[in-house]
Amino acid sequence: MHPTDIASLPSYLSKAYLSSFEEMQLAHDVYHDLKGCIRKYLPKELKEPQQAYGDRLKRTRFDNRFKPAIGGLAGLLGEFTLNEDVAPSILDAKNNVDGQGNSLHAFFSEADTLALRDGWCGIYVEYPPASNEIESQADFIASGRRPYFVLIDRRDILNWRFIWQGDIQYLTQVTIRERRIVPDGAFGEAEKIYYRVLTPGQYQVFEIIENKQDFQLLLIEEGATSLDFVPLVYYSVNKSALFSAEAPLLNLAELNIEHFQKRSELNEVMRKCNLPVPVRQGLIRNAEDIKKAPPIIIGPNSGLDIPADGKFYFAEPSGAAIASTEQRIDKLEAAMDRLSLAFLTGGENNRTATEVMLDSAQTTASLKQLAERKESNVQQCFQFWAAYTGEVEGGTISQDKNLLQMPLAPEATQRLIDLAQTGFISHEALLLLLRLGKILPREFDIQRELQLVGNTRGDQFNEDQATN
Which of the pair, 235 or 427, is modelled with greater confidence?
A: 235
| pLDDT reported for residue 443 | 66
Q: pTM score, two decimals?
A: 0.74
- Phi then psi for residue 176, to 5 deg, are -115, 130
**CA atoms of 14 and 381, how far apart (whole Å):** 25
Three-state secondary structure of 144-213:
CCCCEEEEECHHHEEEEEEEEECCEEEEEEEEEEEEEEEEECCCEEEEEEEEEEEECCEEEEEEEEECCC
| pLDDT reported for residue 195 | 97
Give the residue extent of every domain in the chain: 1-31+65-249+340-405, 277-315, 409-468
Buried b (16+ CB within 10 A) or exposed e, 94-115: eebbbeeebebbbbbbebbbbb
> From the DSSP assignment, how many helices (H) and strands (E) are in the chain?
15, 12
- Phi then psi for residue 224, to 5 deg, are -115, 155
* List of residues 6+ apart from 250 with CB closer than 8 A: 23, 26, 27, 119
State the chain's mean pLDDT as an integer: 82
Residues constituting the chain:
468
**Among candidates 154, 114, 158, which has minimal Cα distance to 1?**
158
* pLDDT tens digit sequence for 256-295: 998 888 888 777 766 666 556 677 777 777 767 666 677 7
State the distance between the two ends of the chain, measured CA to CA, in whole angstroms.
87
* pLDDT tens digit sequence for 91-130: 999 999 998 999 999 999 999 999 999 999 999 999 987 6
